[in-house]
Amino acid sequence: MSNNNPAHPNPVVIGVDVGSGSVRAGVFAPSGTMLGRATQPITLYKGPEHYVEQSSREIWDAVCQTVRQAVAASKVSPDRVAGIGFDATCSLVVVGDGGVPLAVGPSEDPQRNVIVWMDHRATAQAEAINATEHPVLQYVGGKISPEMETPKLLWLKENRPDVYHNAWQFFDLADFLTWKASGDLARSVCTVTCKWTYLAHEKRWDPDYFQQIGLEELADEDFRRIGVSIIEPGMACGKGLTTEAADRMGLPLGTPVAAGMIDAHAGGIGTVGVGGGAVRNLAYVFGTSSCTMTSTQEPAFIPGVWGPYYSAMVPGLWLNEGGQSAAGAAIAQLVSFHPAAPEATFKAKDAGLSLPSYLASLAQKKGLSSADAIQLARDIHVVPEFLGNRSPHADPHARAVIVGLGMESDIDSLLSLYIAGLCGIGYGLRQIIDAQVSMGVTVDNVVLSGGAGRHSLVRQLIADACGYPIMTTKADEPVLLGAAILGAVAGGISPSVSHAMEQFCVPDNQHLPEASVSELHTLRYQAYVRLQNEARLIRETLQ
């Protein structure tokens, strides 16, 4: 049964989010209410060194299963599904003829055909690309990151030439999913502009860039392996779900499939439609990593902040993207070092919580306000750059700094370390905002989403540390909601992404910076910057 133009009076849409460790699917009403959801873990293969890989086949299997499970949980007839949207991490998928997976690392396992976004094997290639100072780099904040795709492609060419030359297609993960769902090789403006150096404002690739950096084959082939058809997020792909995809998902043949997005950007459109809209709000996705997104009418060139990208998140607006490679993961790493971590982890498991969530709940049980909390952590300072500084310094070699620890080994001292780490996350956010504001970008509010920022105390501490109001929306899963918004546009429920953002996004709480601790946080922020600078000087001196 075809579903190209659903006429059901009560349509729903599906959002699918592929994160670093799991696949999630959600069914949404046009009001933004989630009717059902499902989650399935996926495997991260780590090592050697900075290698992190996944399997596109495992991911696709999980996508199909979670869609079926989410629809069943929603108790909605599949015939009511008007559209489906995908978001995913900005990971590189490598496939041979017909989509056969190709091994991307020394395991030689073809099922491990995804180089995950957090994989930093291409650091040397990124540095070589940056040394060219090519004009294209203006649109990635002046320096390309090893997390982006052209350094990874160059690594493949230099280290696995057979795989590079035999690959039929190189996909960003979100584009791989829309291809698997619809059979359409179209790429999203979001993925190729943000991670592949596509110049969306000029609607072209720059062949000179690829020739200069050593990927001339891609230009010589007219870019057929990385994207010939480039379409805006939310546009319909092909003729909708193929027979195979529809059967596996339990949905009607032809259900509209939307051009997808990077996961953080989906979180952006799932949140910033409130409180003045995208041009007044900074979207802050606080998960395993963190991502900041600001939208402007005119391009803003900000050193160390990715972009400006045209139409990469909200069609017609320019996007600047910052963030850190480790955020929630940095807090988890930080607290794991403490002598009380094993005891606290045992208690957290009994409560069904992660260690950071347990510590946030413990602070709440103690009745700690954000002002109390910062006093508890007053002498501890943390620069939580365990996996480098993505923004605004674009320094993948940066590492964490921890100052002020004593001999204490109880859970209260662990709590102090946790709070100091959260403040460090907030100061990193403040630094990114400062860099953008100094270049004329307007930020009135920070709209927060992501699993690491669910607790009210965490939100208040981030507000105090960064000095901006933190807003949240009523969406339990704003990243999933963002993917569903794309499905709503493809399915004709909403005429545009901007309209759908206003339709689906509902404001919830606001956390204003606490005036009584503003001066203390300013002083701590200044200490954060000094520690960051000193760590860089020490590293450079000893090299």
Predicted local distance difference test score (pLDDT) of residue 3: 45
Predicted local distance difference test score (pLDDT) of residue 1: 38
The DSSP string of 45-90 is EE-STT-EEE-HHHHHHHHHHHHHHHHHHHT--GGGEEEEEEEE-S
**Token duo for residue 110:** 């073809």
Q: Is the model's pLDDT at 6 over the cut of 60? A: no
- C-beta separation of 426 from 331 below 8 A: no
**Token duo for residue 357:** 């969530």
Q: Looking at residues 198-212, what average pLDDT do you find?
A: 98
CA 189-439-307 angle, 5° bins:
20
* pLDDT, averaged across the chain: 94
Q: Which residue has the higher pLDDT, 97 or 285?
A: 97
Give residue-wise pLDDT tens across range 416-442. Answer: 999 999 999 999 999 999 999 999 999
- C-beta separation of 113 from 55 below 8 A: yes
pLDDT-above-90 percentage for the chain:
87
Predicted local distance difference test score (pLDDT) of residue 325: 87
pTM (predicted TM-score): 0.86
Predicted local distance difference test score (pLDDT) of residue 7: 54
Give residue-wise pLDDT tens across range 16-53. Answer: 999 999 999 999 999 899 999 999 999 999 988 889 99
3-state secondary structure of 344: helix
**Token duo for residue 479:** 């990243």
Q: Is the model's pLDDT at 507 over the cut of 60? A: yes
Query: What letter would DSSP give residue 113?
Result: -
Give residue-wise pLDDT tens across range 401-414. Answer: 999 999 999 999 99
Q: Which residue has the higher pLDDT, 450 or 395?
A: 395
Confidence class of residue 287 from pLDDT cuts 50, 70 and 90?
A: confident
C-alpha 334 chain-centroid distance:
21
> How far is 114 from 339, CA to CA, in rounded Å?
36
Q: Looking at residues 136-155, what average pLDDT do you find?
A: 94
Confidence class of residue 506 from pLDDT cuts 50, 70 and 90?
A: confident
Predicted local distance difference test score (pLDDT) of residue 8: 63
Residues in the chain: 543
Q: Is the model's pLDDT at 63 over the cut of 60? A: yes
Q: Is the model's pLDDT at 2 over the cut of 50? A: no
Q: Is the model's pLDDT at 333 over the cut of 80? A: yes
- C-beta separation of 263 from 16 below 8 A: no
pLDDT-above-70 percentage for the chain:
99
> How far is 62 from 394, CA to CA, in rounded Å?
34
The DSSP string of 377-434 is TTT-EEE--TT-B-SSS-BTT---EEE---S--SHHHHHHHHHHHHHHHHHHHHHHHH
> How far is 301 from 284, CA to CA, in rounded Å?
19
Give residue-wise pLDDT tens across range 449-481. Answer: 888 888 999 999 999 999 999 999 888 888 999
Domains observed in the chain: 12-262 (3.30.420.40), 272-474+513-543 (3.30.420.40)
46 pairs with which residues across the strands? 52
Cis omega (within 30 of 0) on the bond before 6? no
Give residue-wise pLDDT tens across range 515-533. Answer: 999 999 999 999 999 999 9
